[in-house]
Amino acid sequence: MAPLEEGVYARARICEVDQRTKFVKVLFIDEGISAWMNSTCLAKMDEILSFHPWQAIPVALFKVKPYQDILNDNVQLKWSKEDTAALRGILKKFELVRVEAILNSVPSNDYRDFVKVNMYGMESESDEMGTSITHLFARERFDQVDFERNLFDGITQKIFENFHKEVLTVETLETWRLNFPSENETEAIVEQPILNEATVGSAQIPVADVSWLNEEGYCHKGEYLVNIEGRNTVSPYEFYARPLKMTRLKEASQRNTGIEEYEDNNAADGEEDAMIAANDELANFAEELNSFYGHPKNRKLINSSNVVIALEKGKRVYGIVEVDDEFAQFTGCWQRIEILGIKDGYYSESFFCRLRFLDSGGTDVRLLSSILEIDPMYKFCLIQCTSD
């Protein structure tokens, strides 16, 4: 961990060490920026942070390289300060960019490897094609940047370093990047257990009733669009559905007319977009749960006594279960559940419980001793699949 700003530490990777000054250059893997600092201000990163899936992905423009003089072909090519300034200026002209990844003949599973890309600057979201950043860069740095037309495989694109070398002195660095914070500069950190009485008793996920659907914009012309999870439909009295939001169609109508109107010929497209958006949301959250609970240190069995007490008081109890059937590839291996009831056994480890899957719908019977405690960071997440 390294200081991103004063009083704030972030995940980082050490890229370079200056043995003379004992300064280190780190890359903040979530922000995609690098900085020099004194090695004494670094902190050991907790292993749990290694399994969060978010980080800035390094990319490299495809088919460009620094100009090479045929008379000095043994000189190591590097990007000049003027090259990087020109590229930075081109990117600042566009609000958005469209990135097209180039396929590699040799696959890599190392996040440190640069993804070779074609990048297109876009004036707005309606600009479907965009303007090639590579072509703009090669034209602006004519005779200083080579454009290699014959490259087709991403693995053939080389990565070149920057010519500019920073001069490192104590005076050039902020004070908070020179020393580790003292005890009086840091706030007291209270470690919070994964689950406590508050999680079992008071953490209640709100029911997605009609009022909530209206407030969140799910009402469309007085009706509600839902996706019925047919796999878990039991009867007309027990079925599961996820509400869908016609967001994209509404936004398109507002841009065109200034009034929220839904055209019949766009209804099918709007419904399809809503289903795709809902599935993407579910897939993203499933990936988050898989990443967190996939690490053994984040898994802790639920306390059976606390569950029994909470249910007797009429409180809702939530947990996490592992799913290993073929459907897990769509909803994730670790799913949130609500414990509906318990059937007593001879001892606490033999209690069975009926549970409801909150994200995919459906019910099941499991041993209570196989249920995991749900981490507080997930306890207030919205139920994405409601029953009626």
Encoding tokens for residue 150?
């014959």
- For residue 68, the Cα-to-chain-centroid distance in whole angstroms is 40
How would you write the pLDDT of the chain (388 residues) with one tens digit per residue?
Answer: 999 998 899 999 998 898 888 899 999 998 888 999 999 999 999 877 877 767 888 899 999 988 877 666 656 788 888 999 999 999 999 989 999 999 888 877 777 788 999 999 998 888 878 899 999 999 999 888 888 888 888 888 888 887 766 667 777 788 899 989 876 655 544 444 444 444 444 455 666 778 888 888 888 888 888 888 777 777 777 778 878 887 644 544 555 554 444 455 566 677 888 888 888 887 888 888 888 888 888 888 898 888 989 999 988 899 999 887 666 766 788 888 999 998 876 555 668 899 988 877 888 888 888 899 987 665 444 444 555 5
CA 298 – CA 353 distance, rounded (Å)? 22
Residue 141, Cβ density class (10 Å: 0-12 exposed, 13-18 middle, ≥19 buried) = buried
Q: What pLDDT is recorded for position 1?
A: 94
Q: Strand pairing of 131-132 and 115-122?
A: antiparallel
CA 219 – CA 274 distance, rounded (Å)? 13
Q: How many CA atoms lie within 13 A of 128 on its CB side?
A: 0
Q: What pLDDT is recorded for position 28?
A: 93
pTM across the whole model: 0.47
CA proximity to 278, closest of 213, 226, 202: 226
CA 352 – CA 21 distance, rounded (Å)? 62
Q: What pLDDT is recorded for position 195?
A: 41
Q: What pLDDT is recorded for position 193?
A: 43
Instruction: Identify residue 122 by its one-letter amino acid code.
Output: M
CA 113 – CA 2 distance, rounded (Å)? 21
Instruction: Identify residue 208 by its one-letter amino acid code.
Output: A
CA proximity to 61, closest of 144, 3, 148: 148
CA 46 – CA 56 distance, rounded (Å)? 19
Q: What pLDDT is recorded for position 172?
A: 79
Encoding tokens for residue 328?
């897990």
Q: What sign for the dihedral angle of Cα 81, 87, 90, 96?
A: negative
Q: Strand pairing of 352-357 and 363-367?
A: antiparallel
Instruction: Judge contact between 95 and 130, C-beta under 8 A.
Output: no
Q: What pLDDT is recorded for position 379?
A: 45
Q: Which domains does the chain have, with CATH numbers?
A: 2-56+167-185 (no CATH), 60-158 (no CATH), 209-292 (no CATH), 296-387 (2.30.30)
Q: What pLDDT is recorded for position 188?
A: 46
CA 14 – CA 16 distance, rounded (Å)? 6
